[in-house]
Amino acid sequence: MALNGLLDIRIAVPRPQELFDFWLRHGMSATADGVLGTPDRPVQMQVSEGSHRHLSSMHLSCDNESDIADIAQRLTDAGLASTSDSTTLRCVDPIFGHSIVIDVGSPHPLTPTQSRVFNGPGERSRINTRADAVVHTESPIVRRVGHVVLGTPHLAEAVDFYANILGYRISDQIMKGFASFMRVESDHHNLMIQPGPTSYLNHYAVEVDDIDAVGLAGSSALNDEGVSSVVGVGRHKLGANVFWYLRDPSGNMFEFFSDMDQIVDDEVWDREHRRLDWEGEDGPAGFAVWGPKDPPEEFFNPSDLPAIAAAREASGLK
């Protein structure tokens, strides 16, 4: 089980050009037809047309050819179809219905984060000049797509597919599986699966450099028609990342985030930090250590869920 990267995602929406143009204005660049990228990673998010908003593809990477063979065998043992050669595997998520492509390789390394100089008590590092976030107020460059969060009524089945068949590693769980944070990279989570009345994309998350970048990017996005703030700014308890959740012009919730916990030694994390029984006191597992303590109802139940459920049923998806 050696998945090592979330390479890119594809999102389908009824008006793809609207979403594509939004991200051109807010930190990504067009690297091909319908393809959005970042300076370090030319393919991060693809946008296509669909009858309803949904995640339509997830592109992952793994260490070597033996991992492809192992994942293919686990899919076969589970009665799930796949196609593969020595370096690429393709299958379909049995719960959400999006395609999954796994290639031998790894994500392209990121250049170091933008360095800002901060003043603090007893440490005057920025002298006779204004703070960088005051001088540079444009929307920051997006560094990468870091994770997606999916909601479903089929929690156990979904977690089993990603953890036991594909090989995601579980970082933390709320109430012994009520919601699961999973990773393929060093990030605390590249995927979260939580309850939902139908199977749907709860949100996708893009990383920016720091808390100032989160604030600047969110503020810039709010200047666009059809964009609204959902909840933030704050710092999560699980994952510890700074967050701001907004609604994009296509109705998807997305997150600007920075400063997520990094797990580079699985044994140390599992032994000393991982918990599978986070409870829901003080908001859902302590939603934030500062900032909004409780997300609004639309965070878990967006108003278009009935339409998504109807579209899934019409397509023969459970």
How high is the pLDDT of residue 318? 81
Q: What is the pLDDT of residue 44?
A: 98
CA 40/CA 206 separation, integer angstroms: 14
Model confidence at 285, pLDDT cuts 50, 70, 90, reads low
Distance CA 302, CA 310 (A): 14
Contact status, residue 237 vs residue 283, Cβ threshold 8 Å:
no
Residues 6+ apart with CB under 8 A from 261: 187, 188, 239, 240, 241
Domain 3-109+139-314 is of which CATH architecture? Roll (3.10)
- The answer on pLDDT for 281 being more than 70 is no
Distances (CA, A) of 219 to 137, 232, 274, 291: 10, 11, 34, 16
Of 33, 32, 44, 42, which is closest to residue 6 (Cα–Cα)?
44
pLDDT in the model for residue 161 = 98
pLDDT for the residue 1: 58
pLDDT in tens, 137-161: 888 999 999 999 999 999 999 999 9
Helix, strand or coil for residue 202? strand
Q: Give tens-digit pLDDT for 162-200.
A: 999 999 999 999 988 889 999 999 999 999 999 999 999
DSSP 164: I
Classified as helix, coil or strand, 217 is helix
Residue 201: what pLDDT? 98
Task: State residue 283's pLDDT score.
Answer: 47
Average pLDDT across the chain, whole number: 95
Alpha carbons 121 and 39: distance in angstroms, whole number: 35
**pLDDT reported for residue 32:** 86
Which residues pair with residue 228 across a beta bridge? Answer: 247
Average pLDDT of the segment spanning 107-132: 91
| pLDDT tens digits along 23-49 | 999 999 998 888 999 999 999 999 999
Q: Per-residue pLDDT averaged across 274-283, rounded?
A: 73
CB atoms within 10 A of CB 158: 22
What global pTM score does this model have? 0.96
- For 1-15, what is each residue's pLDDT tens digit? 599 999 999 999 999
241, 291 Cβ separation under 8 angstroms: no
Q: Is the pLDDT of residue 243 over 60?
A: yes
